[in-house]
Structure formats: structure tokens, C-alpha cells
Structure 1
Amino acid sequence: MRKTKLETAATRVKIVEAARAEFRRHGINGSGLTGLMAAAGLTQGGFYKHFESKAQLVAETTEAAVDDQVEQLRHMAEHAGAQRAFKASVDGYLCAEHRDGEAGCPYAALGSELARGDEQVRAVAVDGFERMIELLSGQLSATAASSTRDQALLAMCAMMGALTVSRMAKGEPLSEEVLAVVNRQLVDRLTG
């Protein structure tokens, strides 16, 4: 029995969501198609009905993760108001919930693997990163006097690095320290 277009689309979303979690747990290279499809409750044989390649899945997964990250930061910022938007985004990014959650920033979790991806994967990753910079730059423009793009680039790179180190040191005092120090330094220096 053939699936409807709606069922096919739902299955594709299910695969992308399962892949996001698997990539976060095992990395892109550590996640094989069999495991990815099993995590979605499907068999490997159906993969190519939905995707041309694993790279296409990585690109779609990255785009979905960036969409979610941008939306979460935008939501936090809207509730905080224009003057506190940047601080709300930094607080939401550099926290234990983000560090430990199943979803989250694909750059902190997979940055080096995305950099080694094919052209399609790198293009999606760069486009998403630009969206993050645009969001932070807009938030900084309410409080900053100098180039907000420069500051947003600095902030995003510092946050990615801090989240990566915090994940690496999870369970150690350094994990919480790095989140707190980078948060404080970014907010004080870029909005103070």
C-alpha cells in the first residue's frame, strides 16, 4: 500500500528528528544509516525513498536545528524586551539545560564535522550561522555603539566554544564555571 504525501512528509520529519538526536549523541561520522533509521523506527531500506544521500540528511538536520535554535533565542529575546534581548539569548544559550538537552546548537555539537561536510552541508551550515549572527546583531543594536556584526561574531564564537567546553567537562566544576564566566564577560563587555 502506497503512503500518502502527508504520510511520506511525516516520515521524513521523523527521520530528521531521529537523526538530530543521533548526530548529537554519536556525531555525524559515528551515526550510520542503519542506526539512524532504527532510531526513527524504520529500516535502512527505506532511507533512499526520502533522501538522496546521508549528506542531504545532514544538511536538512542542520537546517532544522538552526531553525529551532534561532526560534528559541528569538522567543527568549522577545519576552525580555529590546534592552535585555541579547542577555536573554546569552543566558538561554549558555545554560545547563541547553548543554544537556537532546536538541540545541548544531555548531557546538557538530562544528568540526560540519566543516568537513560536502558543499551542500557546509552551505547550509554557513547560511544558518549567518542567521544566528543576524539575530544577535539585531539584539545588540539596541544597546551597542560599535559594530554589532563584529560583536555578534565574537559572541557566537565565544558561546559555541563555551558550550563545547562545558559539555566536555560535564560533571566537573569547570563545566558550570565556563558557562558563567563567558556569559558574564559577553554581557558585561558587549552591553555594558
Structure 2
Amino acid sequence: MDYSIVMRVTLCPVWRLPWDTVCRRCFEQTWSPQSFYLQAKLCSLFGWFPFILVSCDHDRSCGKGFSCDRHFLVCVPLKQAGQYCRRDAQCLKGLTCMFGKCHHSIPEGQEGARCKLDKDCGGSMCCARHHGEMICKRRLMLGESCFVPDGGLAFSINQICPCEEGLLCRKATDVPQREKEFVYRPEVENWQCQAPAV
């Protein structure tokens, strides 16, 4: 028997509860599927785990309240808000997997909702990457920084929308000298959304 697993289970925050409750609640934590598999096996040996450990190759192989972990090929409990995930099917109903965690779903077209094209978003918004996810973001307002790099990893992971309709992204020429002295990234030029010159 792997006694390190026993220790990890007994060190669960609810260790003072009966063993069957400890096993159930420890699995609700954000432990890895591999850890879940070993702990479930331990608990099931002593009849403490109310569910049968099931191997799977798709979600339909698992019962209600479970999803198939496609890496470890084992059924695991659905995740709650704030818990780590890799895809939507691993989260409870009403939650989506965004930025690697289960979050409450945002209605389509609203700021922060998933999208594929600009037309998927509401007015004054565009579809752009945020931490690698394509979501609806608002367009930039007058005076906001609009500088974007030519490319690279930073641009691929996080993007910004163009300026609001009627504004142009232009290099600012009226930045006070004392503000220039405290620029954190001097290589980034100061471009702002501006009204077109009359």
C-alpha cells in the first residue's frame, strides 16, 4: 500500500470527519486525476468510496456528475467554480472552463463571453485574445493606449481591440517630459486613441 496516499487523505482539511466523508470530500478538492485515481482506489478497498472507479474514453462512459479525464482515461467528479479544468465538460452545469478554471458562464455577446468573430460580440466590442482565450472585449476609448507590438508571444496571448469608431490610433505628441522619465517600458511608444484632426 502507498502510505503517502494514506497520509494525504488523512491530512485532508476534513480529517476529523468519518472516513467515508473524508474520502468523498477530499476528491472534491483540486487534486490531479492521478491523485484522485490512487485515493479512490484506496478508499474503495475499504468500502469507503460510494462510486465505482471507472475507466473511460469519452464522457458518456461516466455517470451523472462525472466527466472523463482524457489524459488519465478515468472518470472524475465535475469541477466547481474556481477549480482547475481543461475543457467545459469537466465543469458543473452553468460553468465554463476559461483560463484553466471553471467560471460562471457569461451570456453570448457580452464583455468577457467567448467568441470567434467580431460579429459574435455586442456593439462597441471586438473579439480578441485574453490569456489565450478568444473573448469579447470593449473597443478603446479616447485617450486610451492603443499600442500593439508587431507580433511575438505577448501579442499572441493577449490582444486589444481597435479604437472606438470615429477615433484613430496615433502617436501621442503631448506627453509631459516628467512622465516620460518614469515609463516602465521605454521601448513601447506612447500611442493613444485620438480624434481625427480637422
TM-score, length of structure 1 as denominator length: 0.26
* Rg (Cα) greater in structure: 2
TM-score, length of structure 2 as denominator length: 0.26
Q: Which has the higher strand share?
A: 2
